[in-house]
C-alpha cells in the first residue's frame, strides 16, 4: 500500500519517462510534490524501491527504472517488462540512407527498428552541427511515434547528467520544429551549432538550460534558435 505522496511521485516519474524517455531530476520531483527539500524525495524514492515499484541504476545520476505500477495507475502486480524475453521480436529495418538531412526515417509498428545515428550532439557548450550518418542503432519500437520521423545522436558532454543523460548515451529524437517549456530538445544555434538542452521561452528570448549546475543557461534571440527535434528516448550501453 502506497501513501499519497509515494503514489504522486511514482505517477510523476512514470509520466516524465513516457514523455521524455528520462526520469525527472530530484529538483523537479521536489517542485512537483511541493516539498521543501530533496531529502523528502530521497525517502520517497527509497520507499518505492523497497516496495519493488522502481529500481535505481548504480553509478548513474538520476537513473530510475519503473518495474511495475499499481492498479490505480493502470498497472498490475507483475513488473512492466515481465514476459518480454519469451515473446521475442521481429525487427523492422528503417533505411536511413545517406541523405544529409536528419530524420528521413519513417516509424513503423514493430518491436524494434533501426535508426541512423547522425553523429554527436553536445550536452555541454554547442558544437558544430552534424548531419551525416555515422552508423545505425536498433531501438525499441515503443520509442517511435507511428507518424513521426526519427533519428539518433550520440551524446558528448555531461551538461544533462541530472536529467539522466550521460556522456556516450544515444538519444532518440523525433523531428519537430515546435517545443513546449521544459522539453529536452535538439536546438540549432545561429545556423551552425547544435546542442541538447531543456527548452524555455522567455518572451522573444529562447533559454537553453543545462541539467548540471556547472553549466550556465544560455539565452538567444528567438531568430537565432531553430528546434530540430524532441527527445523521446535514450539508449545506454553498460
Contact predicate 45/64, CB 8 Å? yes
Catalytic positions, written as ranges: 159, 197
As beta bridge partners, residue 207 has: 200, 219
Task: Say how far apart CA 167 and CA 120 lie, in whole Å.
Answer: 10
- Cβ–Cβ < 8 Å for 227, 199: yes
Cα gap 43→181, rounded to integer Å = 29
Average pLDDT taken over every residue of the chain: 76
The HSE-up count of residue 118 (CA atoms within 13 Å, CB side) is 27
Entry pTM: 0.53
- In this structure, are strands 170-175 and 225-235 parallel, antiparallel, or unpaired? antiparallel
Tell me what pLDDT residue 9 has. 92
Every domain range in the chain assigned CATH 2.10.109.10:
112-235
Ranges under pLDDT 50 in the chain = 59, 77-110
Cβ burial 1-27 (10 Å sphere, 16+ → b, else e): ebeebbbbbbbbbbebbebbbbbbbbe
DSSP-derived 3-state class of residue 22 = coil
> Bridge-partner residues for 201, per DSSP?
206
Cα–Cα nearest to 105, from 174, 188, 179, 176? 174
H or E segment to which residue 54 belongs: strand 54-56
Task: Give the pLDDT confidence score for residue 124 in this predicted structure.
Answer: 65
What is the structure's pLDDT at 130? 60
Domain 4-85 annotated CATH 3.40.50.10440: no
Residues of the chain with CATH 1.10.10.10: 4-85
CATH architecture of 112-235: Ribbon (2.10)
Q: Return the pLDDT at 133.
A: 65
* pLDDT recorded at residue 149: 83
pLDDT the model gives residue 81: 44
Amino acid at each position: 500500500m502506497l501513501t499519497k505522496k509515494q503514489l504522486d511521485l511514482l505517477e510523476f516519474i512514470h509520466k516524465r519517462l513516457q514523455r521524455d524517455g528520462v526520469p525527472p531530476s530530484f529538483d523537479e520531483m521536489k517542485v512537483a510534490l511541493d516539498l521543501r527539500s530533496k531529502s523528502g524525495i530521497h525517502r520517497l524514492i527509497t520507499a518505492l524501491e523497497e516496495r519493488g515499484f522502481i529500481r535505481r541504476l548504480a553509478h548513474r545520476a538520476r537513473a530510475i527504472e519503473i518495474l511495475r505500477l499499481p492498479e490505480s495507475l493502470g498497472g498490475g502486480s507483475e513488473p512492466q517488462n515481465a514476459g518480454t524475453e519469451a515473446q521475442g521480436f521481429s525487427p523492422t529495418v528503417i533505411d536511413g540512407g545517406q541523405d544529409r538531412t536528419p530524420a528521413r526515417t519513417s516509424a513503423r509498428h514493430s518491436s524494434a527498428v533501426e535508426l541512423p545515428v547522425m553523429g554527436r550532439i553536445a550536452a555541454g557548450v554547442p558544437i558544430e552541427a552534424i548531419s551525416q550518418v555515422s552508423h545505425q542503432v536498433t531501438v525499441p519500437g515503443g520509442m517511435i511515434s507511428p507518424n513521426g520521423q526519427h533519428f539518433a545522436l550520440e551524446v558528448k558532454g555531461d551538461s544533462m547528467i541530472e536529467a539522466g543523460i550521460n556522456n556516450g548515451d544515444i538519444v532518440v529524437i523525433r523531428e519537430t520544429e515546435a517545443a513546449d517549456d521544459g522539453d529536452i530538445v535538439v536546438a540549432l544555434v545561429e545556423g551552425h551549432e547544435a546542442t541538447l538542452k531543456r527548452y524555455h521561452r522567455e518572451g522573444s528570448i529562447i533559454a537553453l538550460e543545462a541539467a548540471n549546475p556547472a553549466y550556465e543557461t544560455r539565452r538567444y534571440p528567438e531568430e537565432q534558435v531553430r528546434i530540430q527535434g524532441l527527445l523521446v528516448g535514450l539508449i545506454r550501453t553498460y
